[in-house]
Amino acid sequence: MRESTTPRLPIRTARLELRRLTPGDRDAMLWYRSDPETCRYLPFRPQTADEVARYLTTRAARTALEGTDGSLSFGVALPDGGPLLGDLIVFVRDLEQECLELGWVFAPEHRGHGYATEAAAALLAFAFGEVGAHRVVARMDPANTASARVADRIGMRREALLLENERVKGVWSDTLNYAVLEREWRASHR
């Protein structure tokens, strides 16, 4: 796995563009990241305008995936300056073991159209193709059946259900783990 990867942006799919998030995305992100229902299964509580703005100028401002705590955030939009539909993140889970983790969150009105699946598949291709990961994981609340379906659709397999393995928002929570190996991903993309 490369120690530093700067993506060639935008990453284009059939219907979408994965692009850098900018401070101009604050209001669109605030719309869904402040929604209690959207945040129900996420590791953070509904966010304020200041929290979203801080995210955009810190973690989302990173331009390369590098280091042991590296991450890259992407905005998901319709092509040619279309609206922000949601955002994705890829981060280093374990540099030595060449393992990355993916996450996604979409605005309520943009769910159910296959956008998350299409965008997550593109991010998986980036993880294996450009970064050179050996393994990619996605972790989620077991009740988040929509995210589990996305993981299934992009070729990840359910590996484990960990019971009360971490505190999320002050409560012991279960975690559903999905994963795919680089060789499995390549075999399914011949």
Whether pLDDT at 35 is above 90:
yes
Q: What DSSP designation does 80 have?
A: T
pLDDT at 88 over 90: yes
**What confidence score (pLDDT) does residue 107 get?**
97
pLDDT of residue 19: 97
Rounded CA-CA distance 49/33 in Å is 9
CA distance 68 to 80: 34
Indicate the pLDDT class of residue 49, thresholds 50, 70 and 90.
very high
3-state DSSP assignment of residue 156: coil
Per-residue pLDDT tens digits for 95-121: 999 999 999 999 999 999 999 999 999
The angle formed by the CA atoms of residues 153, 154 and 157, to the nearest 5 degrees, is: 80
Residue 3 pLDDT more than 90?
no
Model confidence at 176: pLDDT above 90:
yes
Task: Work out the percent of the chain whose per-residue pLDDT is above 70.
Answer: 100
**Would you state the pLDDT for residue 156?**
98
pLDDT band at 142; cut points 50, 70, 90:
very high
Whether pLDDT at 190 is above 90 = no
Q: Return the exposure string of 90-122: e unless at least 16 CB atoms fall within 10 Å of the residue's CB, then b.
A: bbbbeeeebbbbbbbbbbeebbeeebbbbbbbb
Other C-beta atoms closer than 10 Å to the C-beta of 89 total 17
Angle at 82 between CA 148 and CA 27, to 5 degrees: 75
Q: Which CATH superfamily is domain 4-187 in?
A: Gcn5-related N-acetyltransferase (GNAT) (3.40.630.30)
Q: Which residue has the tokens 């942006």?
A: 9
Q: What is the pLDDT of residue 100?
A: 98
Angstrom distance (rounded) from CA 101 to CA 136: 5
d(CA 54, CA 48): 10
Which tens digits make up the pLDDT trace of 145-156? 999 999 999 999
